[in-house]
């Protein structure tokens, strides 16, 4: 959660006259950043994580677990504690973490006190840092409150009391049948955001998840807990008028989506080209990590037939009108918009030769005026379309005090739209007046129960990003296949049961065999010569040029084709490319992570190869593989995903009636189990490695490790 602005938010109707003003000045602010920093080089490899917690209050006498709505009080206390710790910190002590508000008043977010560097030795401190943050938070909660890293609270929005204290489910902003106003962060931004999404859309948001049909689940399932006849707000009749689908779990408010927790990783790149390369390469990885980290199979007191949160949040913030969704002809709106503001990435960004036009195969509505302005300013086609696509949206929250800004020093209007396009990855320009560089935020993963698991996924993504740049890896495939994978990733037990599209050949040399075809099959040019007749055929793969951080700039220097025809024909020194459809295939999760045959090394295979290129001692590498082994085993099925484990826990609970209902007792025992697993006092060898040790021993690490520093990285040239 970024910095929250102070001021008076405009009501939706009052904000409409200022929408174009925000867009126009937002682009001016972006162009000012671009002009100042487009040639910025040499930023250090830095990265950081964001972990979100739910504060759960336990009533052990009555066996009830509820969400504590004390966020403001807790954060005020933590701010004071952090200041004290900072003042008392020894010079060589680890950095003091920071804590931030989130949408739900029952949520906290934590980040490291400072970014991690690219040194491998720092990867081995990630879990201890996460553990430190959790300990600080836990120590300053009430005795019966615990910060749990749970993606979705199973009984959020059920009849009766699910928060402490209790509030009646009445909210003018959301008009929800299930959630009270008091569940939302009281900062003016959040209720305004909630209300304006509903007002812009023209009715309440609609979320329908398929019910998990168990032995005694009614068929058809018509939810008896929906207050069908409530008549407090205009939107109360929407459920009975068709919004609530049979055989589905119905939800109707932003809080159901933005009340979910996640794990996010942000990388700083050496320069803007490198950031765009990392962004593109991680786009196909997003759905894979969503499935691998699946941790949310339960909503509003029921078991769902999905394992992930993504579509819940997608629909919870979908502000598109019926015209924009294609349900009515365009009359009052400009664009037919295929996706919600919260969805998968819509286009690739890199100018690398590997990025063929065929990969951006989804419709991409853009603001033509914004696009022309960016192009006239000298920006390339891909980045111009990316920004122009973000700016087809309306600003959702405008503060009256911030309408007029100094565009040379502020980026608030740009961030107004940039930060409310929530995609699986976010390309992040440097903030104004800041030493921070060009960044990429990886956003698809669900938060895990233990700090060990969250560290494992973080370490894996960081090492994969390093391997991508070091080896010039090519993960490109059509965006439409990435979208198909996003749908597949949310299916029940997708990590073990489903197949995903992924590129077959990822190393640059894997295309070398195509070079010889360049002279034979390229179209004849106007002067009668073959367009590829000047290509020089290398006899061996070109060694990548690696900078001090292990980054490869070889591929960023090549220009990309501008049409499908050009992409099949070689540029100087490049082979002709075959049909896109031959570049990818369906693979199991095990194959994508651990490798397939002798042609696809797997994502862990390229990480292993990257580690083998570094001057790192055996002990450090061994300890890194303790974390990476979790990724390996989740992929091959020898360890369950959190969602799989939760579903089994619920279905084998003595109180479960095989009717898809999650009772108070089941929910209480599940939350208790999460706490016990996280503290290491409950062994679950199907979820965690058998040698996982108590979180209170060794700061949560599996075993003691001795870090021997590898050769220090040098800055980018």
The pLDDT-based confidence of 497 (bands split at 50, 70, 90) is very high
CATH class of 42-333+410-503: alpha beta
Can you tell me the mean pLDDT for 626-639? Answer: 98
- φ/ψ bin of 599: left (φ > 0), alpha (ψ from -120 to 50), beta (otherwise): alpha
pLDDT at 560: 59
Assigned token pair, 255: 């809080």
Residue 526: pLDDT band (50, 70, 90) is: very low
Spatial neighbors of 125 by CB under 8 A, at least 6 apart, are 94, 116
Residue-by-residue DSSP string for 314-374:
HHHT----TTTTTSS-SSS-S----S-SEES--------TT--GGG--S-----HHHHHHH
User: Is 705 a residue whose pLDDT tops 70?
Assistant: no
- Cα atoms in the Cβ-side hemisphere of radius 13 Å centred on 122: 19
At residue 694, the pLDDT reads: 54
Q: Is the pLDDT at 5 greater than 90, yes or no?
A: no
- CA 620 – CA 120 distance, rounded (Å): 8
In a 3-state reduction of DSSP, which class is residue 32? helix
C-alpha closest to that of 444 among 254, 623, 313: 313
**CA 137, CA 247: separation in Å to the nearest integer?**
40
pLDDT for the residue numbered 398:
97
- In this predicted structure, the answer to whether residue 225 has a pLDDT above a threshold of 50 is yes
pLDDT score of 692: 83
Does position 576 have pLDDT exceeding 70, yes or no? no
Residue 581, pLDDT score: 96
pLDDT band at 432 (very low <50, low <70, confident <90, very high): confident
Residue 530 confidence (pLDDT) above 60: no
pLDDT of 631 strictly over 90: yes
DSSP calls for 222-285? --TTS-TT--SSGGGGTIIIIIS-TTEEEE-SHHHHHT--BEEEEEE-SSHHHHHHHHHHHTTH
94-139: pLDDT as tens digits:
889 999 999 999 999 999 999 999 899 999 999 999 999 999 999 9
Q: Tell me which of 127-136, 312-321, 587-596, 690-699 is least confident.
A: 690-699
pLDDT > 80? residue 201: yes
Using pLDDT thresholds of 50, 70 and 90, give the confidence band for residue 165. very high
pLDDT in tens, 314-358: 999 999 999 999 999 999 999 999 999 999 999 999 999 999 999
Residue 255: predicted pLDDT: 98
Q: What is the per-residue pLDDT across 535-554, written as a single tens digit (0 to 9) for each?
A: 222 222 333 333 333 333 33
Q: What is the pLDDT of residue 668?
A: 98
pLDDT at 67 over 50: yes
pLDDT band at 561 (very low <50, low <70, confident <90, very high): low
The 3-class secondary structure across 416-482, one letter per residue, is HHHCCCEECEEEECCCCCCCCCCEEEECCCECCCCHHHHHHHHHHHHHHHHHHHHHCCCCCCCHHHH
Mean pLDDT, to the nearest integer, of 189-209? 97
* Sign of the alpha-carbon dihedral angle for 465, 466, 469, 474: negative
Q: How far is CA 632 from the centre of its chain?
A: 20
Q: Which residue has the higher pLDDT, 551 or 383?
A: 383
Contact between 470 and 555 under an 8 Å Cβ cutoff? The reply is: no
- Residue 118 is predicted with a pLDDT of 83
Mean pLDDT for the stretch of residues 9-29: 97
- 3-class secondary-structure state, position 168: coil
> What pLDDT, on the 0 to 100 scale, is given for residue 717?
34
Percent with pLDDT over 70 in the chain: 86
* C-alpha distance from residue 481 to each of 30, 361, 497, 581 (Å): 31, 9, 18, 10
Residues 507-526: b if buried by 16+ CB within 10 A, e if exposed: bbebbbebbeebbeebeeee
> What is the pLDDT, as a whole number, of residue 89?
87
Q: In Å, what is the CA distance from 210 to each residue of 130, 178, 318, 323, 621? A: 34, 18, 19, 26, 43
pLDDT value of position 440: 98
DSSP 147: E
* Per-residue pLDDT, 329: 97
Distance (Å, rounded) from C-alpha 674 to C-alpha 684?
Answer: 10
Sign of CA dihedral 120, 124, 127, 133: negative
Question: Is the backbone of residue 405 left (phi > 0), alpha (psi -120 to 50) or beta?
Answer: beta
Rounded to 5°, the CA angle 259-264-268 comes to 145
Mean per-residue pLDDT, 592-610: 96
């Amino acid at each position: 959660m970024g910095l929250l602005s102070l001021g008076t938010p405009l009501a939706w109707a009052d904000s409409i006259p200022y929408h174009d003003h925000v867009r126009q000045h937002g682009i001016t602010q972006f162009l000012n950043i671009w002009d100042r920093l487009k040639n910025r080089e040499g930023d250090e490899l830095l990265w950081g994580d964001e972990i979100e917690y739910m504060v759960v209050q336990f009533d052990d006498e009555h066996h009830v677990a509820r969400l504590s709505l004390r966020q403001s009080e807790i954060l005020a206390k933590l701010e004071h504690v952090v200041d004290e710790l900072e003042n008392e910190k020894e010079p060589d002590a680890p950095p003091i973490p920071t804590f931030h508000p989130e949408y739900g008043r029952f949520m906290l977010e934590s980040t490291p006190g400072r970014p991690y560097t690219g040194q491998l030795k720092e990867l081995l401190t990630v879990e201890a840092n996460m553990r430190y943050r959790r300990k600080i938070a836990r120590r300053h909660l009430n005795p019966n409150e615990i910060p749990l890293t749970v993606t979705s609270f199973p009984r959020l929005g059920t009849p009766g009391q699910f928060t402490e204290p209790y509030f009646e489910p009445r909210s003018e902003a959301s008009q929800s049948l299930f959630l009270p106003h008091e569940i939302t962060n009281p900062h003016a931004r959040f209720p305004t955001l909630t209300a304006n999404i509903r007002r812009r859309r023209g009715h309440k948001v609609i979320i329908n998840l398929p019910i998990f049909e168990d032995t005694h689940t009614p068929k058809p399932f018509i939810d008896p807990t929906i207050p069908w006849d409530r008549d407090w707000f205009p939107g109360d009749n929407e459920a009975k008028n068709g919004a609530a689908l049979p055989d589905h779990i119905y939800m109707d408010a932003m809080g159901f989506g933005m009340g979910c927790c996640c794990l996010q990783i942000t990388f700083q790149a050496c320069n803007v080209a490198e950031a765009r390369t990392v962004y593109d390469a991680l786009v196909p990885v997003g759905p894979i990590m969503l499935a691998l980290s699946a941790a949310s199979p339960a909503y509003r007191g029921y078991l769902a037939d999905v394992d992930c949160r993504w579509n819940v949040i997608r629909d919870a913030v979908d502000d598109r009108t019926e015209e924009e969704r294609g349900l009515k002809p365009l009359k009052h709106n400009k664009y037919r918009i295929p996706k919600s503001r919260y969805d998968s990435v819509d286009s690739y960004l890199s100018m690398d030769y590997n990025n063929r036009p065929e990969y951006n195969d989804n419709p991409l509505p853009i603001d033509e005026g914004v696009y022309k302005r960016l192009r006239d300013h000298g920006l390339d086609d891909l980045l111009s379309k990316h920004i122009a696509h973000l700016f087809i949206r309306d600003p959702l929250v405008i503060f009256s005090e911030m309408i007029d800004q100094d565009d040379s020093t502020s980026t608030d209007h740009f961030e107004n739209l940039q930060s409310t396009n929530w995609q699986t990855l976010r390309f992040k320009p440097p903030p104004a007046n800041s030493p921070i560089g060009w960044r990429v935020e990886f956003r698809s993963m669900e938060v895990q129960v233990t700090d060990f698991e969250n560290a494992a996924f973080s370490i894996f993504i960081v090492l994969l990003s390093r391997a991508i740049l070091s080896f010039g890896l090519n993960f490109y495939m059509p965006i439409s296949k990435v979208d198909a994978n996003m749908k597949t990733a949310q299916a029940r037990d997708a990590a073990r049961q489903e197949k995903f599209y992924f590129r077959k050949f990822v190393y640059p040399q894997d295309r070398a065999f195509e070079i010889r075809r360049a002279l034979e099959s390229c179209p004849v040019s106007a002067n009668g010569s073959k367009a590829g007749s000047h290509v020089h055929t290398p006899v061996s793969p070109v060694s990548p040029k690696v900078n001090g951080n292990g980054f490869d700039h070889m591929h960023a220097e090549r220009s990309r084709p501008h049409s499908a025809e050009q992409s099949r024909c070689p540029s100087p020194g490049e082979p002709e490319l075959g049909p896109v459809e031959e570049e990818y295939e369906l693979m199991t999760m095990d194959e994508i992570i651990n490798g397939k045959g002798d042609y696809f090394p797997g994502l862990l295979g390229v990480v292993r190869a990257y580690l083998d290129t570094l001057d790192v001692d055996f002990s450090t590498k061994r300890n890194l593989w303790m974390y990476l082994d979790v990724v390996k085993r989740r992929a091959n099925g020898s360890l369950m995903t959190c969602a799989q484990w939760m579903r089994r826990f619920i279905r084998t609970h003595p109180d479960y009636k095989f009717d898809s209902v999650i009772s108070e007792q089941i929910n209480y025992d599940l939350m208790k189990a999460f706490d016990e697993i996280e503290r290491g006092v409950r062994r679950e060898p199907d979820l965690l490695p058998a040698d996982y040790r108590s979180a209170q021993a060794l700061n949560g690490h599996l075993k003691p490790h001795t870090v021997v520093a590898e050769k220090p990285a040098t800055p980018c040239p």
